[in-house]
Structure 1
Amino acid sequence: MAYHEHTDHQYFRNLRQGAPKAVEGFQALDNAVFNNPDAVIPLKYTELMAVAVALTTQCPYCIEAHSTGARKAGATEEELAETVMVATALRAGAAVTHGWQAMKFFTQAQESNA
């Protein structure tokens, strides 16, 4: 069984039934962000930012939706590739900075045993 299936969106109705006000709020937020004619940031860049976030949060559905949205909004393959690499650099950077914490805890543990 696959964890991510293209038909998983059908279960959104379960969310809508179980938490209708929250789902309504989420949809209003999503609509305000991605369908805002008064937005200062052009949709192409909003979609590319969404791709970068989707890559770092590893949401396959968001990656699909926002990569497609970026293309529809006029993004080029080169812009998408650069977005992927920006997200990659940030993800790697986060691992390095969390590595600082690992080194700190390791050192503190070593000092407490001394």
Structure 2
Amino acid sequence: MFDMRNLTKLKKLDENAPDVMKAFWAFNAELFKDGAIDVLHKQLMAVAVALTTQCPYCIELHMKDARRAGANDTMLTEAAMVAAAMRANATVTHASHLFKE
């Protein structure tokens, strides 16, 4: 099912909802510019979120963008471990619901 070539089909969204998609692409482009947080750190956050949501397209795209912004293997590994910790932490804290009074 996962195939990066599928992303070419996104043009169908542009055709079927041009105003919404134009706004989406503009939002996305603006978001990933330097701001209070630089592009490198935004892309590392995006990698961590992509790993957490397990979107292979997002993982691939944001990993490449993170590397273009200067991320190295160590930085990407730490981002992955942050994502892993967040998932584990959510499991542990939600375990509190197992114990009813």
Whether TM exceeds 0.5 here: the answer is yes
Structure 1: runs of 5+ lacking an equivalent: 109-114
For the residue of structure 1 that corresponds to 2:37, the secondary structure is coil
1:73-97 CA distances to partner (integer Å, 9 max, x unpaired)?
A: 1111101100100000001111222
For residues 1-114 of structure 1, the aligned pairs below 5 Å read 3-34=1-32, 36-37=33-34, 39-101=35-97, 103-104=98-99, 107=100
Alignment identity in percent?
42
Which one-letter code corresponds to 2:67 in the other structure? R
Which one-letter code corresponds to 1:80 in the other structure? L
Question: Which of the pair has the greater relative contact order for Cα pairs under 8 Å at 6+ separation?
Answer: 2
Aligned residue pairs: how many? 101
The separation in 2 between residues aligned to 1:98 and 1:8, in whole angstroms, is: 36
Structure 2: runs of 5+ lacking an equivalent: none
The separation in 1 between residues aligned to 2:49 and 2:58, in whole angstroms, is: 9
The separation in 2 between residues aligned to 1:46 and 1:20, in whole angstroms, is: 27
Q: How far does residue 25 in structure 1 lie from its aligned partner after superposition?
A: 1.4
Larger Rg computed on CA atoms: 1
